[in-house]
Structure 1
Amino acid sequence: MVEQSDRAPLLDWEEVPPAEPAPTSPSLEDENSLESSPSNCRPLGSTIAGIGWDTSAGDLTNSTAVNSGSTSSPSKQTGPGEGAPTCNEQAECTFPGLAVKDRRVSEWEEKDQIVAVFVVTFDTRSGNMIEWCLPQDVNLEGVEFKSMASGSHRITSDFIYFRKGSYFGLACFANMPVESELERGARMKSVGILSPSYTLLYRYMHFLENQVRHQLQCPGQYSPLEAFYEDKKAVLPSGGNGLVTACPTSALTTMVNRCMHPEMKITHPAGCMSQFIRFFGEQIMVLWKFALLRKRILIFSPPPVGVVCYRVYCCCCLANVSIPGIGVAVPELRPFFYINVADITALETELSYVACTTEKIFEEKKDLYDVYVDNQNVKTHRESLQPLLRLNTADKEKYRKLSEQRQLLLYSQEVDGDCSSSEEDLFILFFMEQNNRIFQTLSEVAGSADPTLTAEHVRAMGLDPQGDRGFLVDLLEVYGIDVMLVIDNPCCP
């Protein structure tokens, strides 16, 4: 297995260490700062089986789960305003903050993925506007609002994942005080990219961070972004369907997992999944049921929005299933990441999604979502779903087991130095195994001579025969599983 750099590489690029490195440790007292700053993070790997976003084409496929590991190393920062690309003796151009390392077997999937690069600025008279982009004829309508979240003027930096039509974007935002009456004392910009898939966007995080700092210090100097786009621009098929050509057959042997099974590296200092667990606690079990039922889940939070985009990803991971054929006929649980009012029309036709927003007005648009998450408060306006908000005995037992497994993992890492598994792996596998157990049992009962689901079957699936009855009824309907649900009345002897 080939290892990759864990510093958000670009073609396995990594940040050039400064001449005199002076690493700093992030303060544990400011959790919001840690959560929102990808610079202080170590990427961690996981996959989204059952979500099925093809990393090569950006369209939907059914896939099984594959876990990918990663190593850890501290990332180092370069100073702001380091601008033009330089070339070494081999004439390999490097961008500020990045250096060519090793392309190895992952070269194919990491190239030809960027369909646009852009700079967004806040103008005191015109508001958010696209300042510069390549290619110049690309449709970026609305990107100026997606890449600079509402309320961002209150924070100094952020990063945002979003969806634009059939593409996904990542933008890094920064806010710098300036002595300018014209700019009202603050200069705000975002530098972002579009790609057919969200699963590799993390690789460009540090480059975008560096470039937004450069744009604040030296507005109008776009040569590094031009060089970046020329190196990474996607080669789209002549049919104009907006999809990158499929993985070449010659690469399938070494690349099949990376090409066919989507992954999203997470760059949170404590790990995305572990932060997600700590943030929601037992409420994860409520979100798990809504995700498995393919409900429309909308998460509200004020800026910074970067860590909330990771919560969108984590919610999608709750619905992982690796049994072939399961979920083929149900709507994909699609990650929309950050949305704003410009996305209302698109959301009206979506059957299943997870998204986040900083705009409180969405709470009033109840026809757009089934489940609304405000901070740690999970609620639904749909009467039929409200019983699922109540935790039952089985939910609490599952959360207890998850917590126990986490503690055992942390203990083995601390005492035995065992780093072969991560909290991300644990989280992904815990819910995948739970989901597999449910659907395996349902499939066996449906295929038996007596397709009757009893209380014993329900307990074997790790569910509560009484408390989860409504959940099971909905699950059977959504997935089209033909079994008869028979639960004994607890009031009868």
Structure 2
Amino acid sequence: MAADDRAPLLKHDENEFDPFETSRKNLRKLINSNEGAPSETISISGSASVTTLTELDNIVAVFVVAFDIRSGNVIEWCVPDDTDLDGVEFKAMVSGSHTQDTDFVYFRKDNYYGLACFENMRIQSEIERGCRMKSVGILATSYTTLYRHMQFLETQVRHLLETPGKYMQLKVFYDDRKGVIPLNEITMDGLRPSPLSTPSTPSRDLLPEMKITHPAGCFSQFLQFFGNQIFVLWKLALLQRRILFFSPPPIGIVCYRVYCACCLGHHNITNIMGQNPQPHFYVNVADIEALENEVSYIACTTEKIFESKTHLYDVYVDNQIVKVNSPGLKEILKVSDADKDKAVQLNNQRASHRFEVEELGEEQGFDEEDVFTNFFVEMNDRIFQMLLEISNSQDRQLTSDHMKTMGLDPQGDRSFLMELVEHYGIDVVLMVDNPCCPK
């Protein structure tokens, strides 16, 4: 992948204050030069109160994965040293990584989420067969803050490739950023406050609303890549189908597609069963047994063998080609006229929001994630709210006018709507007839 394609995804929010950023910059500067104190003694510190008032990292482990010519992928080092990292060596260094110079990957390990940065360095060594490959990663209780540490992990993997065995900076990082595993319930996208919280432990209810944020450019590239097909993915995500993205490495950008696809299905209607979609991110053959028991997931892989295992997924996305197994879902693959209208509406909202921000002279404040997620949340809320209202009416009849009000095509989206009301158990009578000549 060209550097220009990858760079926007690695751009951090310049307006977000990170108390550790100055220390990380100093650390990177010292790594890249031999001036100053020995890098092994550097302390990465920051204001605990500031990090508490944003969102806690809750990092539970830091690790290094290396490729050994005899043993393959191995956990070279980790802290705490008793952390269960079984299988992480094949997630942090994905299948096909050897074809790349650099990459990054998001993944899930049990109830934790991980981020690892990979680098393949060419060296003059017959023993290592001309290359040295490592990944440096972290595990946390939530995926929503992992991106903050991307640059640090990239710096550390280069540091360890050039000076193997020097782990002190990672140890200091862990000591400063480690989180205490709470007794309260751990969810897939964060932590719910415990009813047993004491005054010394601030309740999450008192903190600012958690905002799921990934690097700038994530959503614009998602829209560019799939075009109007994002509304096909939207329908499949809203139906809570098992969606698997396939792509050869690099996998980092595909992890962002997983995240964006999850955002398509979010809503705020509490009377609807099931939770908002949660990302699995990267999966490999070791996850097959776990995936067999999942009724809904969104994930990605570099392993082509998954394509033949059709019982593991409902939707297989091979780059820009979307495939389904069920005949009932094939009609949903067609982009309807209403989908094209929604695409225009979304692009107009993005352009309008950007114009307003630029007019105020706050171009850096343009938040494409908010525009994107709000568009789909509002659309999903409108659809579910109307379906619930109709189900509570006397005749429970859902007409073409209702569908148009929901932003759906009475003919092109009929199959989708039938799947939707059946999946969520919404009791309505669909009064829209099948067209005699389907498009």
TM-score under structure 2 normalisation? 0.87
1:132 matches 2:77: yes
For 1:211 and 1:276, how far apart are their aligned partners in 2?
29
Give unmatched runs, 5+ long, in structure 2. none
The equivalent residue for 1:355 is 299
For 2:359 and 2:56, how far apart are their aligned partners in 1?
41
Deviation of 1:104 (Å):
3.6
SS in 2 for 1:336: strand
Aligned match for 2:98, one of 153, 176, 182:
153
The equivalent residue for 2:330 is 386
Q: Deviations over 1:44-74 (max 9, x none)?
A: 9xxxxxxxxxxxxxxxxxxxxxxxx858999
The count of aligned residue pairs is: 421
Deviation of 1:159 (Å):
1.3
SS in 1 for 2:401: helix
The equivalent residue for 2:412 is 467
Q: Which is worse superposed, 249-258 or 376-385?
A: 249-258
Q: Is the 8 A contact 1:112 1:235 kept in 2?
A: no
Deviation of 1:389 (Å):
0.4
Aligned match for 1:344, one of 283, 288, 298:
288
Q: Deviations over 1:228-273 (max 9, x none)?
A: 2233333235899999894646433774444xx4x332124xx111
Q: What is the letter of the counterpart of residue 103 of structure 2?
A: D
Deviation of 1:221 (Å):
1.0
The equivalent residue for 1:371 is 315
Q: What is the letter of the counterpart of residue 361 of structure 2?
A: G
Deviation of 1:295 (Å):
0.4
Runs of 4+ in 1 over 6 A off after TM superposition: 71-77, 238-245
For 1:235 and 1:476, how far apart are their aligned partners in 2?
42
Query: Matches of residues 420-435 of structure 1 in structure 2 within 5 Å?
Result: 420-435=365-380
Identity value in percent:
51
Higher relative contact order (CA 8 A, sep 6+): 1
1:233 matches 2:178: yes
**CA 1:491–1:349 in structure 2 vs 1: closer, same or farther (change >3 Å)?**
closer
Aligned match for 1:143, one of 77, 83, 88:
88
SS in 1 for 2:230: helix
Deviation of 1:388 (Å):
0.4
SS in 2 for 1:132: strand
**CA 1:35–1:371 in structure 2 vs 1: closer, same or farther (change >3 Å)?**
farther
SS in 1 for 2:59: coil
Deviation of 1:357 (Å):
0.7
1:197 matches 2:142: yes
Q: Is the 8 A contact 1:147 1:171 kept in 2?
A: yes
For 2:183 and 2:348, how far apart are their aligned partners in 1?
53
Q: Is the 8 A contact 1:160 1:306 kept in 2?
A: yes
The equivalent residue for 1:121 is 66
1:312 matches 2:285: no
Q: Is the 8 A contact 1:105 1:254 kept in 2?
A: no
1:286 matches 2:256: no
Deviation of 1:331 (Å):
5.6
SS in 2 for 1:138: coil
Q: Which is worse superposed, 395-404 or 366-375?
A: 395-404
Aligned match for 2:131, one of 176, 186, 193:
186
For 2:237 and 2:183, how far apart are their aligned partners in 1?
37
Query: Matches of residues 244-255 of structure 1 in structure 2 within 5 Å?
Result: 246=193, 248=197, 250=199, 251-252=202-203, 255=206
SS in 1 for 2:281: strand
For 2:401 and 2:98, how far apart are their aligned partners in 1?
55
For 2:17 and 2:283, how far apart are their aligned partners in 1?
32
The equivalent residue for 2:397 is 452
For 2:410 and 2:436, how far apart are their aligned partners in 1?
13
Q: Say which structure is richer in helix.
A: 2
Q: What is the letter of the counterpart of residue 338 of structure 2?
A: A
**CA 1:79–1:299 in structure 2 vs 1: closer, same or farther (change >3 Å)?**
farther
The equivalent residue for 1:19 is none
The equivalent residue for 1:84 is 39
For 2:259 and 2:286, how far apart are their aligned partners in 1?
21
The equivalent residue for 1:43 is 13
Q: Which is worse superposed, 199-208 or 276-285?
A: 199-208
